[in-house]
Chain A
Amino acid sequence: MGRRTPLHDLHVALGARMVDFGGWDMPVHYGSQIEEHHQVRRAAGVFDVSHMCVVDLRGAGVRPFLSRLLANDVGRISLPGKALYSCLLNEAGGVLDDLIAYRMTESWFRLVVNAGTRDKDLAWMRDRAAAWGSDLAITERSELAMLAVQGPRAREIVAGLLEPADAVEALALEPFFGRECGAWFVARTGYTGEDGFEIVLPAAEAEPAWRALNAAGVASCGLGARDTLRLEAGMNLYGNDMDESRNPLESGLAWTVAFEPADRDFVGRAALEAIRAGGVPQKLVGLLLEERGVLRSHQKVVVAGIGEGETTSGTFSPTLERSIAFARVPRATGDRVQVDIRGRLLSARVLKLPFVRRGRVLVDL
């Protein structure tokens, strides 16, 4: 039996198909993954993301610690509640994890890290804090649950669950900002390419919140739809699209590495500078399959006259009604490749990510 979130029994009662996801029993869908996907693009859906790990870092030394720990620069987040997406790198520039950091106060930053990497991340952070003599407390908040409510109607519906004063403040949040609303932390972030909120809340409040969201018309959505939504939105999945053996520059994440200011010495900086100076040999791109079939991870990509690559994630896109993928390919790859699907070479177009954002298709079909 895997680990369970506070919503496990509710998922089962709602008829979810439960699967193992990185050691956790999680709902993959509640009937139709495609229908859940469309609900998020067209209205609103709620996902249980309580398997992800909330880590609070408190202390006077938290900003200098994160400035050294993260590849993105926490110097970019000084306003209250501002969020920052970053990679956590090892000294070789390999990606240990990707995470979101929220600046709660000047002495309190909140990180949300992946479920499968939580133990590794915590050990790494504690080890670095000890090595650097950082003045901070690192606390895993396993007593909290986390919901992602996503879709064009998500924010107004969540606001309806809040106290009136909190609702006004929550609706005023700019993208990539969060704030405390009573015992809840509400942030305008997500992993679907739609507007919406992610909510960190006490475990005991998760089930009533979920039921209230359902009653207000928000569809229960599983990890299946979460995956197709994030793929359409061009968002990487740790363990698929990058891991410790890959650096951000070859994973479509160069935009998250803050080389400026030049004197900020973060873990992995020296390695990434050397890689960048030598020319990054590969890049992560989007693929759109031009024939019938479904792209999956770990399929061989053939780039005529140049070399080979590999898909890192692939699926059928419910919005495009075509198959899409991310692939790591030679840097010189142009706008056309072939993918080996069970021994047949099918042609695919190379596209700039994302495929879909805020309900709009951004690629020519």
Chain B
Amino acid sequence: MSQVPSDLKYAKSHEWVRALPDGTVEIGITDHAQHALGDLVFVEVPEAGRSLQAGDACAVVESVKAASDVYSPIAGTVLEANAALASAPELINQDCYGKGWLMRVQPADAGALAALLPAADYQTLLAAEGG
């Protein structure tokens, strides 16, 4: 069973968003997503300063099997990407909600998080997908 921490928000495309006290957000991929991808071997993260629309392909995660796009759950500006993933992409497999975060973003609209799925709804979505 996939882990779905209750303090995060989720996108249908299997990214999570964590609201930080300073108004910025941290974004990564969910436990369900990392499990479906298998062992990750390469991660391409966006450059700081890049401006994103919600739904933009902003990162690529590659497992031994295949490459998958990661879509930004919200609009905003990339503040920093997780540099540790360059040499240790497996951090996403090991700790997708912690050390395996992908990027930190300044949201364009502080209210944007409200449009994302709470944990319970994301759980329901996974159950419906059979995962």
Tier of interface size on chain B: 10 to 19
**From residue 90 to 119 of chain B, which have CB atoms closer than 8 A to chain A?**
93
Stretch from A138-146, A176-184, A268-276, A289-297 that touches the partner: A289-297
Q: Is the CB of B39 within 8 A of A33?
A: yes
Q: Is B64 an interface residue (CB 8 A)?
A: yes
Q: Is A28 an interface residue (CB 8 A)?
A: yes
Q: Is B66 an interface residue (CB 8 A)?
A: yes
A130–B53 Cα gap in the complex (Å)? Answer: 64
Interface centre among B64, B65, B66, B93 (most CB of A within 10 A): B64
Chain A residues near B93: list those with CB within 8 A. Answer: 32
Contact of A224 among B42, B62, B64 (CB under 8 A): B64
Q: Is the CB of B38 within 8 A of A294?
A: no
Q: What is the number of contacts between chain A and chain B, taking CB atoms within 8 Å?
A: 41
A190–B64 Cα gap in the complex (Å)? Answer: 21
A224–B44 Cα gap in the complex (Å)? Answer: 22
Q: Is the CB of A224 within 8 A of B65?
A: yes
Contact of A228 among B35, B60, B62, B64 (CB under 8 A): B64
Whole-angstrom distance between the Cβ of A245 and the nearest chain B Cβ: 24
Given A316-B41, A316-B42: A342 touches B60 (CB 8 Å cut-off): yes
27 contacts between A and B (CB under 8 A): A17-B35, A28-B65, A29-B38, A32-B38, A32-B39, A32-B93, A33-B39, A33-B64, A34-B41, A34-B64, A35-B39, A224-B38, A228-B64, A292-B42, A292-B86, A294-B41, A294-B42, A294-B62, A294-B67, A296-B66, A296-B67, A315-B64, A316-B42, A316-B64, A323-B42, A342-B60, A342-B67
Q: Residues on B close to A: CB < 8 A?
A: 35, 38-39, 41-42, 44, 60, 62, 64-67, 86, 93
Q: Residues on A close to B: CB < 8 A?
A: 17, 28-29, 32-35, 224, 228, 292-294, 296, 315-316, 318, 323, 342
Which 9 residue pairs are nearest across A and B when measured between Cβ atoms?
A316-B41, A34-B39, A294-B62, A294-B42, A33-B64, A33-B39, A316-B64, A33-B38, A32-B39
| Known interface pairs A35-B39, A316-B64; 20 further A-B residue pairs with C-beta atoms within 8 A, sorted by A's residue number | A17-B35, A28-B38, A32-B38, A32-B39, A33-B38, A33-B65, A34-B41, A34-B64, A224-B65, A228-B64, A292-B42, A293-B44, A293-B62, A294-B41, A294-B62, A315-B64, A316-B62, A318-B64, A323-B42, A342-B60
